[in-house]
Amino acid sequence: MKDMEPAHIQGVKTAIEWRMLIETLMGQGMAADLVLQGGTFVNVITRELYQADVAVARGRVLLVGDVKSLIGPKTVVEDVRGKYVCPGFIDAHMHFESSMLTATEFTRLSLPTGTTTIIADPHEIGNVLGVMGMQAMIDEARRLPHTVRFAVPCWVPDVPGLETSGDVIGAKEIADLLRDPGVQGIGEIQGFSNVGPVYSHRPETVDDLLTAVAFALSLGKTVEGNAPGLFGKDLAAHIIAGGSNISCHETTTTDETLEKLRNGVYVYMREGSSQRDMPQCIRAITQEGVDSRYAVLVSDDMVAEDLMSHGHMNDLVRRTVDEGVDPVEAIQMATINPAAHFGFPDRGMLTPGKRADIAVVNSLTDMTIYQVYSAGKKVAENGQLVIDLPSYRYPETVRHSVKRAPVTKEDLVIRTPSATSRTARVRALVLIPNENLTETAEVDLPVRDLAVQPHPQSDAVPIVVVERHGKNGRIGKAFVRGMGLQRGAIAESVSHDTHNIIACGADYDDMAVAINHVIAMEGGVAVVQDGKILGDLPLPVGGLITDELTGPEVAQRIQDLYTVARQDLGMTIPAPLMHLSFLSLATSPKWKITDAGLIDVDRFEVLPVVVS
């Protein structure tokens, strides 16, 4: 690939390409390779719509406007009358692992919807398999027909001592990765999200983080942030730690959005499968009237079914338009705005010399996509790929990542020290639908033989995180409200960010069966009732993704699991697997659960589950 060549060779080739484009324009070379004729041009620079043809040569935009003189006998002329021609979309922050798909299968679903550039954060597989896992994903992405860059973690685990990861990553470990041309920079530095506790509890890690950031910036790389609920001096410290040109995808309120936009933070307005923050964030623009140039749409976490049913970045643009944003302004948030943040000189707009990544849109209201071009080559039409995209199988080095002996019911039970008490007051996480954040609660639950019992009638059930990397065998225990689970149990090896096995259930025995089935599969998802496996999904690559199923097959398996969870287990929360997985995200307020136990995120400490 071109980006793997030495810089001086790339420079010579680029100069030759420029000369050939200029010669074509001057009538001294070949004609345009492609002309999109008769469409309405979406100008994301001036925020205009007007009729203009687009000529493309050698994978680059040649001219926008009157291009008749550039049409030759071999020029492919596409009639796009009644359509809108806009830059290909950029997803500035996402995780392939959240879809449970390989990058290849994700592309199979995403590319026909107009997303031609992806900035992926591989810290999920990095938490499990370290640099080796991330490198495997980067190597896969090099084969893809569009642009995929990676923002790699500089800090794993994010909360040392309070969670167990499969590997440890610091500035030293990512130095070589940062030199990889497939790496855009450093991903979300979420371990620095709560600035005060970081300095109070682990100041020694701050120097390592700042060293990694400084090294990345010296290479011309970018740095992504993660700053939920930060204001004032805490936000300022976070901005400085990221080298000033930083982003945040954990902004959830209008006030937060205003504060960050005013301080030059690129606000990634997240609108994924389970975290939907854009409607609150966008009010800073629609109601407060601030400039939107630092507003960026991102998906963060998308499941296969949503990609199939609704689309990718085109759907995020559509939802933003539904919130009252001008369509061209919404498109800017998925094109020129992220390109400006990343310093991409070759994309984000369709002007002479830019890469011809193009989405031809049927309607600016529903944002359905007619055609997609990557570097001037048609890759999709009417929602289907028109190119061959072979499946991809990962090497054995990223398999067999579950290193855990089976558990028993007794391993999972939450006990009270009182031999006479019939009830116990316990702490419980409170899940917030469509958010990564949680609330907190204390609830009174029945006790039998010193064991605190699940009480699904009051929506309070046990939740556990079982260390699965073969490091210490810890099991964190607590209770959770908000899952709506009435019977049985559910377990998965996807739990942010260290991806130990997380499980909740209305019955300790069923929880043990579900966890042990995940262990036996060497990663995956299991739904259990009355000791029987009602449904499962093996995830052999890092316990996070499957390379044995296509995107549609994964979507159907997950939908089947959701149906079982809803009908047999009585779960009411949408996207239960994704919501469950985020209950262990120990960098996101207020309480979370890891293999160390119930975590007070703001205070960076483990809380006892039984209060009295």
Domain definitions of the chain by residue range: 90-348, 399-607
The pLDDT of residue 194 is 47
Question: How is residue 267 written in tokens?
Answer: 């606000």
Strand, coil or helix: what is 153? coil
Phi and psi at 533, nearest 5°, equal: -80, 110
Question: How is residue 545 written in tokens?
Answer: 């993704």
Determine contact, residues 191/587, Cβ cutoff 8 Å: yes
The amino acid that residue 388 corresponds to is D
Looking at every residue in the chain, the average pLDDT score rounds to 92
Residue 316 CA to its chain's centroid (Å): 14
For residues 526 and 528, what is the distance between their CA atoms, to the nearest angstrom?
6
Comparing C-alpha atoms, which of 494, 497, 504 is closest to residue 428?
A: 504
The pLDDT of residue 158 is 85
Give the angle subtended at the CA of 257 by the CAs of 255 and 262, to the nearest 5°: 100
Instruction: Quote the pTM value.
Output: 0.91
Q: What is the pLDDT of residues 21-69, one digit of tens each?
A: 888 888 887 899 999 999 999 999 999 999 999 999 999 999 999 999 9
Question: How is residue 127 written in tokens?
Answer: 């938490």
DSSP secondary structure of 170-211? -HHHHHHHHHSTTEEEE---GGGSSHHHHHHH-THHHHHHHH
For residues 456 and 353, what is the distance between their CA atoms, to the nearest angstrom?
61
Q: Which of 5-9, 187-191, 509-513 has the highest mean pLDDT?
A: 509-513
Query: Which pLDDT band holds residue 203 (cuts at 50, 70, 90)?
Result: low
Residue 9's contacts (CB-CB under 8 Å, 6 or more residues apart) are: none
For residues 247 and 100, what is the distance between their CA atoms, to the nearest angstrom?
25
For residues 115 and 380, what is the distance between their CA atoms, to the nearest angstrom?
11
Question: How is residue 328 written in tokens?
Answer: 């061209």
Determine contact, residues 187/246, Cβ cutoff 8 Å: no
Query: Which pLDDT band holds residue 8 (cuts at 50, 70, 90)?
Result: low
For residues 108 and 91, what is the distance between their CA atoms, to the nearest angstrom?
15
Q: Of the CATH numbers 1.10.3720.10, 3.20.20.140, 3.30.70.890, 3.90.105.20, which one belongs to the domain with range 90-348? A: 3.20.20.140
Region of residue 376 (left: phi > 0; alpha: psi -120 to 50; beta: else): left
For residues 63 and 53, what is the distance between their CA atoms, to the nearest angstrom?
8
Alpha carbons within 13 angstroms on the beta-carbon side of residue 258 total 12
Q: Per-residue pLDDT averaged across 555-584, rounded?
A: 93
Query: Which pLDDT band holds residue 496 (cuts at 50, 70, 90)?
Result: very high
Comparing C-alpha atoms, which of 411, 321, 394 is closest to residue 547?
A: 394
Query: Which pLDDT band holds residue 413 (cuts at 50, 70, 90)?
Result: very high
Please measure the distance between the N-terminal and C-terminal CA atoms of the chain and give it in whole angstroms: 63
For residues 27 and 16, what is the distance between their CA atoms, to the nearest angstrom?
16
> pLDDT exceeding 90 applies to what percent of the chain?
78
Determine contact, residues 410/182, Cβ cutoff 8 Å: no
Q: Per-residue pLDDT averaged across 420-425, rounded?
A: 88
Longest dimension (CA), the chain: 94
Q: Is 294 exposed, middle or buried (CB count within 10 Å of its CB: 0-12, 13-18, 19+)?
A: buried
Phi and psi at 591, nearest 5°, equal: -110, 145
Element (H, E) at 190: none
Alpha carbons within 13 angstroms on the beta-carbon side of residue 59 total 11
